[in-house]
Chain A
Amino acid sequence: MNKKMKNLLYQSFDTPLGDTDRQRLGTALDTDENLRNERDAITDIRQNAAALLFEPFRPEFTKQVLARLLSLSHNVTLSPELFYASLLSGFRKLAWAGGLAAAALITIHLLGVDTLSQENAWILSDFSIQELLSLSVF
């Protein structure tokens, strides 16, 4: 089976083909039995899929949603826990972003120095202990 014709066949189920492509596909279908089998198999799948029935939700579904909505609206206005939980999750995201940014800065710095050392990683090599202490005082 010609791969191009097979692709055109699949395309034809969902997109209107141009005149040339439609003619090429028609000719290929007339001469290629495998392509016809492929078309029949896909048509069968599509027809059966369209005929699939799904049971609706139970009759009390609407009442249950309304009851949940009502209870949720009470919980949201009364519960400070939800507020603190969302605040905490916001801080977590911020901490992760900060950590990643610090790691990226250290990596960039390490790529720019000649030797890899812990001092270089923390950008300490240019300072003496006394200088660092004086920086922390001011």
Chain B
Amino acid sequence: MPTASEEMIWLKAARQGDPHAFSQIINAYSGKIASTIKGMLGNCAEAEDIGQEVFISFFRSIDRFRGDSSLSTFLTRIAINHSLNEIKRKKRWLNHNNLSSIEELEKYPAPGESPETHQRKEMIRKAITSLPAKFRSVIVLRLIQEHSTEETAAILKLPLGTVQSRLARAQKKLKESLNPPSGRKS
């Protein structure tokens, strides 16, 4: 991750239209933005287009970035908002085409892992992408990207208490979908 002073230099140059500064910002944060979007939407075909939209939205409104939050936080917030819009758009599309689940649109590649680990991770990944959007965003930020609860609240512009209660409810939902009640020990 770049230092605060590096960010300042890039931002100053980017505001003056320097394409090299744009490239440096994109290169520094595209990995984080990819994991945010793919965490929210799964490894879908639209993820890369949405990633492009995130950076384009940022550069078009770069003068409005006052540095109240870090660049990383600011970009992650844009990525979450774009992902939430995409989830809404997909839902409308699925309803219109009488499909039952958003999962039907998503494909996951097979990484080079042991079958058991891969299967467990895929189950968790699938369970996360099946969560309602408001729960998915807190899980992606807190559990996958490992932001603190305070940072998660700042990115989502939510009160800390709301984030804490959504986290608890999201984890209960994940547990229920991964370990259904019939499989519980008494």
* Residues of A in contact with B (beta carbons under 8 Å apart): 7, 10-11, 13-15, 33-34, 37-38, 41-42, 45-46, 48-58, 61-62, 64-66, 68-70, 72
Tell me which of A34, A38, A61 contacts B48 (CB under 8 A): A61
* Residues of B in contact with A (beta carbons under 8 Å apart): 19, 22-23, 26-27, 30-31, 33-35, 38-39, 43, 47-48, 51-52, 55-56, 59-60, 109, 111, 120-121, 124-125, 128, 139, 142-144, 146, 149, 164, 167-168, 171-172, 174-175, 178-179, 184-185
Interface of A is mostly: helix
CB neighbours (8 Å) of A52 from chain B are 39, 121, 124-125, 144
CB neighbours (8 Å) of A15 from chain B are 149, 164
Number of residue pairs A-B, CB distance < 8 angstroms: 100
**Do A69 and B38 touch (CB < 8 A)?**
no
- A61-B175 Cα distance, complex, nearest whole Å: 36
Known: A10-B171, A45-B174, A48-B120. A72 touches B56 (CB 8 A): yes
- A38-B124 Cα distance, complex, nearest whole Å: 16
